[in-house]
Every structure is written in C-alpha cells, then in structure tokens.
Amino acid sequence: MSTLNRSRAKSAFSSPIASAAAVVIATLWTIPTFGLLISSIRPEQAINNSGWWTFFTNPEISFENYEKVLFQGTLIQPPMVQYFFNSLAITLPAVVFPITLAVFAAYALAWFDFKGRDFIFFSIFALQVVPLQLTLIPLLQLFAKGLSINGITIIPNLGITGTYIPIWIAHTIFGLPLAIFLLHNFLRQIPRELVEAAKVDGAGWFTMFRALIFPLSIPAIASFAIFQFLWVWNDLLVGLTFGAGSKEVAPMTVRLAEMVGTRGGGWEVLTAGAFVSTVVPLIVFFALQRYFVRGLLAGSVKG
C-alpha cells in the first residue's frame, strides 16, 4: 500500500465522524453491562419493584447478593465460588495447550520446507468448517468407552470421565485449527532476511525459534489467547457435555444456566453471578488489548 493510500485510510478512520460513531457504539455496548452491575448491588426488593435506572434517583446499595451467590450453597448446590475456580481450572490449561501445540506446528508449516506442507496446512484450515456439535457424540463415546474396531481395542477406556481432562482435550481440539491458521499467517510475515541472518550466525531451528520467532509472535499469540479465553470461559456446551454432570468440574456457565431456571425468580443472585462471570474476561481483554490489535492487523497491509 502506498504512503498516500495509507495516509488517506488513516485520516478516514481518525475523522470526527468516525470518532463520534465509535463513542456511540461503545456507549450502547456498555449500557447493558453497566445496568447489570447496578442491578447486582441493589437489594432484592428494589430489583423486583423497579428498573435499574431508578438507582440514580433512589440509590440503594447492598452487597448481600454477592455474599449469597458466592459463598452460600445448599445441600445440592455448592457455592458459586467453587464454580468460579472450576472455570479457571478449565480455561487456563485450555488456553495454554492449543497455543503450545499451535505455535510449534505453525513454525514448522511456515518455515520448514518438506513435502506435503501446503496440503497439511489447507487440511488444518478446512477443519474450521466442521461444526462443533457434530463431534460431541463421537468424542464423548471415545472418552467414556475408548475405541474398538472389530473387537480390537485401539484406545482403551482411560477412566477420565467426570474430570477436567476430557474438557481440556475437547477445547484443545476445537481451538487448534484457528490457532495454527492465525499463527502461520503471522509467522509468514516475518522477513526472510532475519531468518537467513540467524542461520548465518549459526543458530539452529530451536535456537532461532526461542530467540527470534517466539518473541516476534507474541502479538499473534496474545490475540488467539484472548479469543480462546473468551470462548472457553463463556462456553456451556462443552463443559456440560464432557463434564458428565459432575459439579466438581462444572464451569460457572452451567451454574448460571441452572440459576436462570424456568420461573424467572432469583434475579438478585443471577445478576451478581452474571457480573462475576464477566469480570475475568474484561480483565484479560484490557490487559492484552494492545497485543490484540497488533496481532489482528499484522500482515494486513504491505509497504
């Protein structure tokens, strides 16, 4: 892209109209979350009798909702704080595992010259079109019973049902195609001259990865980490299916779905629980947003 076209694009996106539109969109997007926060700190009676916007004319503040939803359980349901730590125990490994595998796979596909490289990359890219729902039953049967063909056991029953392991494996499988695709495209934008210079200096493939490729790929890794974290943290289907109904491994989304119920009651604890579930993704996004933007835009324009 020429310098003139670049300057025109920059001026178009920095115009007063574009800035005003961004502010309006951000405000409209934030209002529901702000209303959820206000509702979560209002007493039960106030929530049931009036809308959250009346808080500004008649402010009533109570943190009883958070105490009730986080620390008060029943004989059947443990407190929400246990589901919170379950979500952390599911999400962190489910982000680290696919990134670890994808960064090495993308490095090999981007820079190693071997037969069938393009076929492997396009096959991985095509896996993104496979619906998640299509794989739930086969994977569930694999985790629960193993794999046997004509009476020959290929994969035995590993006894991992009701643990975090099948949830980690499922999220890793579902996240790998996108991770490899994004990281491969990013690594291909690294100037070949840098790689050749490292080879001339005597760096091997692993040394070059550790000292050159990995530090340069941090923006792309952070971009996928945000996508994967938000996806896993907000997921209900995979956690519910592969958790085998065990409350010891169920994420927060499972508990929130149970709290919604069918009668529309308990809004005071539901709003508190919903806001607790949004706090961590917001922290992750704002902490990594500068890498997120750089990773998305990397390679999108050429000088």
- CATH of residue 123: 1.10.3720.10
pTM: 0.79
Q: Are residues 128 and 277 in the same domain?
A: yes
Q: Are residues 60 and 155 in the same domain?
A: no
The number of domains in the chain is 2
End-to-end CA distance of the chain: 5
Q: Three-state DSSP class for 147?
A: strand
User: Using one digit for the tens of pLDDT, what is the confidence trace for 80-99?
Assistant: 888 899 999 999 999 999 99
Q: Are residues 48 and 118 in the same domain?
A: no
Last residue of a domain, one of 71, 96, 125: 71
Q: Which one of 55, 71, 87 terminates a domain? A: 71
Indicate whether 136 and 108 sit together in one domain. Answer: yes
Do residues 63 and 80 both lie within one domain?
no
When comparing pLDDT for 261 and 35, which is higher? 35
For all residues of the chain together, what is the average pLDDT? Answer: 80
Q: Is 86 in contact with 233 (CB distance < 8 Å)?
A: no
49 is in which domain, residue-wise? 1-71
Hey, what's the torsion of the CAs at 197, 200, 205, 210, to 10 degrees? -50
Q: Does one domain contain both 113 and 7? A: no
**Among 71, 97, 119, where does a domain finish?**
71
Residues 131 and 237 in one domain: yes
Residues 199 and 211 grouped into a single domain: yes
pLDDT tens-digit map of 36-50 = 888 888 887 887 787
Based on the domain organization, do 107 and 255 belong to the same domain?
A: yes
CA distance 74 to 217: 47
